[in-house]
A = this chain, B = another copy of it.
């Protein structure tokens, strides 16, 4: 029997799920036109406390359920949309939906980053689709370009600003000269940072998203635990001032590169040239720069979070799932994994470094420092003496190095801190030109 409509089951009624429900209702006519059949919201799985939301009260009692079995036993659901977030119970829900033969759409970065490979395998076994465009970068097309538009390319690198919270904080620090805690407080007041902001400021959120992008770009399984991540709280307003003087911006970048043998993936604050396009990406905006052998550099920019942008991606995935169901084809992924590659250890990466340190204000200091660096085969590209504290007889200096190995740099810092003339190594930030 030919279907007359496509049934959607929604899990969650938070800001994203609520907005998805609104789009399915408000744009029903135009979506039906594009799909060829109406998309009908059949069930919404909520928690007991969600029942008090104004939106829940508008929905009528037949649609809402707090019962898992009632939701999964509804026969007229073709597509399950998971917008709960977090690892558990979302991961179990997605598995249950797939093994029940439903196509699934999710905005859940944590589950896809941690369990994407298992879920993909399960969808192939059950002949259904798994779509997760909304899991990275809100409504910016990022998953789909790797799966379709860039399929002829060998991707060599990804350079991404994919955490709006930290980008907002860095923007305030750079433009207003405020320190980290003041910028964080502002972000929290505006709702850009959570009360417990650790996942954002420590780079965990960005590492989840990078795991998803790198897996797609390199046709490999890159897991969050493969990704080095370092937070933003150790950056000082004076680092931003010095960066500006040197012609750089500071951004929390998620970087992934591959060569023939190794994949490199890391999230940490980076100096980037201030005339680069990524340096212009301010506030809560996201941007992902992709380098491919044919396409060269392409960049995707937009709002990386928020209910409306995220719903744009979720609904596009629902439409794509519906079209697959109507056209009656299984979802044999065209997206094949390449043979496994080794993840490059962080100690082996090579980059330039910015180092800020307090040293004794006297002759011969620089020769001692450069000897330590030279012993580790690190050469200095420039040294700038910044402020001097006459009373304490110290000076602050900024060193920019030529490309060096991470391990050598870390060993040097260790040794420098034991030098008599070095009061403190205040900061070490990697540089990407």
Contacts and interface: CB of A to CB of B under 8 A. Distances in A.
Interface of A: 23, 27, 31, 33-36, 133, 138-141, 144-145, 148-153, 275, 277, 280-281, 292-303, 306, 308-309, 311-313, 315-316, 319-320, 323, 327-329, 332, 334-336
Nearest to A152: B315
A-B pairs with lowest CB-CB distance, top 5: A139-B295, A152-B315, A298-B302, A294-B312, A141-B149
Given A34-B336, A152-B319, A316-B150, A301 B302 contact: no
Contacts of A151: 34, 315-316, 319
B303 A301 contact: no
B145 A141 contact: yes
B277 A301 contact: yes
A149 B149 CA distance: 12
A294 B309 contact: yes
Given A34-B336, A297-B302, A297-B303, 9 more contacts: A36-B334, A141-B144, A141-B145, A152-B315, A295-B309, A299-B300, A299-B301, A323-B334, A327-B327
B298 A300 contact: yes
A50 B296 CA distance: 28
A159 to B, nearest CB: 13
Contact of A149 (B144, B281, B299): B144
A140 B298 contact: yes
Contact of A36 (B138, B293, B311, B332): B332
What is the copy number of this chain in the assembly? Answer: 2
Given A139-B295, A301-B299, A148 B144 contact: yes
Contacts of A149: 133, 139, 141, 144, 312-313, 316
A295 B312 contact: yes
B298 A139 contact: yes
B292 A296 contact: no
A277 to B, nearest CB: 6
A153 B144 CA distance: 16
Contact of A292 (B280, B312, B334): B312
A336 B139 contact: no
10 contacts: A34-B335, A139-B149, A139-B294, A280-B280, A294-B308, A294-B312, A296-B302, A298-B302, A323-B334, A327-B327
A230 to B, nearest CB: 27
Contacts of A336: 33-34
B309 A139 contact: no
Contacts of A275: 280
A308 B145 CA distance: 17
A309 B327 contact: no
A329 B332 contact: no
Contacts of A327: 327, 329, 332
A320 B148 contact: yes
A151 B36 CA distance: 13
A323 B302 CA distance: 30
B296 A31 contact: no
A23 B152 contact: yes
A327 B300 CA distance: 30
A334 B312 contact: no
A139 B144 CA distance: 14
Contacts of A292: 139, 312
